[in-house]
Structure 1
Amino acid sequence: MDVGLTVGDSLERTDRTIEGFEFAELSIGDSVDTDDIDVNRLEAILADAHADLCVHLPFKQVLVTPVPEINDAIVEYLTRLLEWAGSVGAQKAVLHGTARDPHDTDLRPLFADQLTRIATAADDAGVELVVENVGHQKRGVPLTVLGDLARETETAVCFDVGHAFMEDGDDGVERFCSRYGDLVSHLHVHDVRSRGDTHLPIGAGEVDYDIVSEHLAGFDGTVAVEVFTDDVALLRDTARRTKSALDLDS
């Protein structure tokens, strides 16, 4: 298992925080287009830290709409980003599981089709696509629906533990891990408080990580610490707690 760090779209933050982590998860396509990323600097930062690269595809871009032309454009756009990701050696690309109306059941076959097309583009680029649960957000597909669609399309999952807690508490974490844990290739770990605070260091919130331990002990995929701080000690502590929760060597 490799434990990495989400770094947003900032090479400066990557440089400040990545040491000691095994990969950086860099956000692309929202506020910073790939043409504006200094690839030489990115590669130098990662080389100095002996770290690999994953990417997070645009947060604001929905995956599916009712309009075929817009859906085609979404695939074309994400294909361009995936080709860039492949060109710089990214291992995985995280995609939010979103729809214009996530509760419109008529969109679900279209969601599956879009997901399949984007996963194919990722395969062609040499990158593994992982679809992330964001059901707590306005356009996020509900947890169980996302799991069913990922299984139907044979798409790997980025399971965000904190997002699942925000959507349906510890029951949501338990339900997803028990039903779809075999699909999880990538984890986002952070802590959450039910009053709405999120992306906290593990131990600062209310998530019962014993549930994760029960279902994902020995996990051999990739884990990204997604804690919104540049305090390296806190970031490393969450990495240590994650390894302990997953019953892996510290």
Structure 2
Amino acid sequence: MHVGVSIGPYLDRIETIPDAFEYVEIGLGEGEQPIGEINVNSVSERLHKRNLDVTVHLPYYQPLATAVDTIDSATLSYIDSVLETASALGATTAVAHPTRRGIAPSSEQFHEQLRSLVEIGHTHDVTVCFETTGYAGDLALDRVGATIDDVDGAICLDIGYAYLEAGVSGIRTLLTQYGDIVEHLHVHDGRHRGDTHIPVGSGDVAMADIGSLLQEFVPEATATIEVFTDDAAHLTDSRQRFIELIEDVDSQ
């Protein structure tokens, strides 16, 4: 399993990423790293020097789908530009929050907007993975699989959010039914009191139980350590703890 680390919009952290990681996940676009300020050649060279691949997180402040066609068209046009930049950096995976405003999750308008985003990704040779962020108020975990399968998309399983929303059983159900389209993981711990994106092993998430499910259903998925800190020791320790969970399953 390839394991990377999230650096958000902070490109200055590329040079400080521990050698244990294989790629970085960069936040691009509105509220993150503005695409107009990115020197693609420079960033690509810096990544190459560190032997790092790249994945991107698409902007999430603007909902992907609304009740206004003009807004939705503009959103797709903007994300097209973001994905073009992502592709130029060498990314083949992009994470998106399946957000909406003013429309039902079952509406054809919502599904069509997600489907269009998937197709735009294909034009740039980028797989768009929709994240399981129901705990944060987006599409509920029990809807994610059917919705993303309907639009021919892929899923990013956010382990911390999914556990806090629906426990191990909810994650097992998703992987059992839709594990074939789960291609990317976000790995962080969390606490029922509301803390998220904390180091692996420091919260309430049943990582050992989840680790066995990941190895059974999605052993080829890529995994981003999404711990919100620039402390290299915390990031490396989180990676090691996660890897040990997978290796423990392999040795059983």
Fold similarity call, TM over 0.5? yes
Aligned to 1:118: 117
Q: What whole-Å deviation, never above 9, does each CA across 1:164-195 have from its counterpart, x for those lacking one?
A: 12323334333323332221100000000101
Query: Which sections of structure 1, spanning at least 5 residues, go unmatched?
Result: none
Query: Which sections of structure 2, spanning at least 5 residues, go unmatched?
Result: none
Which amino acid in 2 is paired with 1:242? Answer: F
Cα distance, 1:212 vs. partner?
Answer: 2.0
Cα distance, 1:101 vs. partner?
Answer: 4.3
Pairing 1:205–2:207 present: no
Q: What whole-Å deviation, never above 9, does each CA across 1:119-152 have from its counterpart, x for those lacking one?
A: 11111111111111111223x0111212111111
Q: Please give the TM-score of this superposition, normalised by the length of structure 1.
A: 0.91
Equivalent residue of 1:136, what SS? helix
Residues 30, 226 of structure 1: CA spacing in aligned structure 2 closer, same or farther, 3 A cutoff? same
Q: What whole-Å deviation, never above 9, does each CA across 1:21-65 have from its counterpart, x for those lacking one?
A: 111100000233111123233223211221101100002121111
Aligned to 1:4: 4
Percent of pairs with identical residues? 35
Equivalent residue of 2:136, what SS? coil
Cα distance, 1:18 vs. partner?
Answer: 4.9
Where does structure 1 differ by over 4 angstroms across 4 or more consecutive aligned residues?
Answer: none
RMSD: 1.9
Aligned to 2:154: 156
Aligned to 2:24: 24
Which amino acid in 1 is paired with 2:134? Answer: G
Give the stretch that moved more between structures: 207-216 or 82-91: 207-216
Q: What whole-Å deviation, never above 9, does each CA across 1:78-114 have from its counterpart, x for those lacking one?
A: 1111111112211211011111147x25x53222111
Does structure 2 retain, via aligned residues, the 8 Å contact 1:6–1:225?
A: yes
Does structure 2 retain, via aligned residues, the 8 Å contact 1:130–1:155?
A: yes
Does structure 1 retain, via aligned residues, the 8 Å contact 2:168–2:210?
A: no
Q: Please give the TM-score of this superposition, normalised by the length of structure 2.
A: 0.91
Residues 18, 115 of structure 1: CA spacing in aligned structure 2 closer, same or farther, 3 A cutoff? farther
Give the Cα separation in 1 of the matches to 2:164 and 2:75. 27
Does structure 1 retain, via aligned residues, the 8 Å contact 2:40–2:85?
A: no
Give the Cα separation in 2 of the matches to 1:101 and 1:5. 34
Give the Cα separation in 2 of the matches to 1:12 and 1:83. 22
Aligned to 1:100: 101
